[in-house]
Amino acid sequence: MRKKLVVGNWKMYGNLIENEQLLNTIVSDLAGLKIEQYAVCVPYPYLSSVQNKLKNTNISWGAQNVSQYHKGAYTGEVSASMLNDFGCTFVIIGHSERRSFFGENNDIVAEKYVAAQSEKLIPILCVGETLEQRDRGITKQIIQEQLMTVINKAGVESLRKAVIAYEPVWAIGTGKTATPNQAQEVHVFIRNSIGTQDINIAKESTILYGGSVKASNAAELFAMPDIDGGLIGGASLVADDFVAICNTLNN
């Protein structure tokens, strides 16, 4: 059975007081639900306080980015081993906001993926097309390139210790969710692409959907056979909404 997962991506939101309130509710409301099914990926400065709050709970945590370099004179960067110092399980790699605002191309994303795994962090590898690419009919080609750059660099076996997130760029923060069928179609495509390399890894790969997931649409998305959970932006900042989405996974 594939692992199901809901991950909150806080992006560049929050402060110490708000985080505390958000986590208090999430921790108490999710207590007792299955272990290792929930995580939050938070801004770097909050990793220490989030670690203190979430250790000994059933919620994991992680970061939203990592350097491709291990150490050195790279001002402003954070290495995978530093994330390990704060007990991170996950790190988001290649989010579309990193790709579009910070110039991360497929090769850099693949390097970051390798750096994360070298420190036993689980990369959440984001792939997805822009609206322009979808309209041009090249969605699958774009996703294939994003995926294959990583597989060519890290090997298909690496996917055993990774999570993939399909996030159509046009659905992120726009309120415009992919329909369950639109998302399922791409999830199957991703699974089949992995399957051309290794059928068992394809079957076991956890593939999340991200892009305007809300409490009101999570159930129909997560009900699709190849959608194994979600990567949640805006709704992960509202405790009741995030808890409702996590609960959907158990239904």
Any idea which residues carry the catalytic annotation?
Answer: 95, 167
Binding residue for ligand 13P, selected from 104, 111, 129, 167, defined by CB under 6 A? 167
Least separation in angstroms between CB 226 and ligand 13P: 18
CB 58, CB 36: distance < 8 Å = yes
Cβ nearer to ligand 13P, comparing 149 with 212: 212
Sort 162 into a burial class: Cβ within 10 Å, 0-12 / 13-18 / 19+. Answer: buried
Cβ nearer to ligand 13P, comparing 201 with 228: 228
Assess 233 for contact with ligand 13P (CB under 6 A).
yes
Cβ nearer to ligand 13P, comparing 115 with 218: 218
Assess 172 for contact with ligand 13P (CB under 6 A).
yes
Assess 62 for contact with ligand 13P (CB under 6 A).
no
Assess 102 for contact with ligand 13P (CB under 6 A).
no
Residue nearest to ligand 13P (CB): 233
Judged by CB under 6 A, the stretch of 66-74, 109-117, 147-155, 232-240 that binds ligand 13P is 232-240
From CA 237, how far away is CA 125, in angstroms rounded?
A: 21
Which residues inside 189-228 make contact with ligand 13P, applying CB under 6 A? Answer: 210-213
Cβ nearer to ligand 13P, comparing 159 with 231: 231
Residues touching ligand 13P, count (CB under 6 A)? 14
User: Using CB under 6 A as the criterion, what x/- string covers residues 68-97 for binding ligand 13P?
Assistant: ---------------------------x--
Assess 63 for contact with ligand 13P (CB under 6 A).
no
Sign of CA dihedral 143, 148, 153, 154: positive
Judged by the rule CB under 6 A, the positions of this chain that interact with ligand 13P are 9, 95, 167, 172-173, 210-213, 231-235
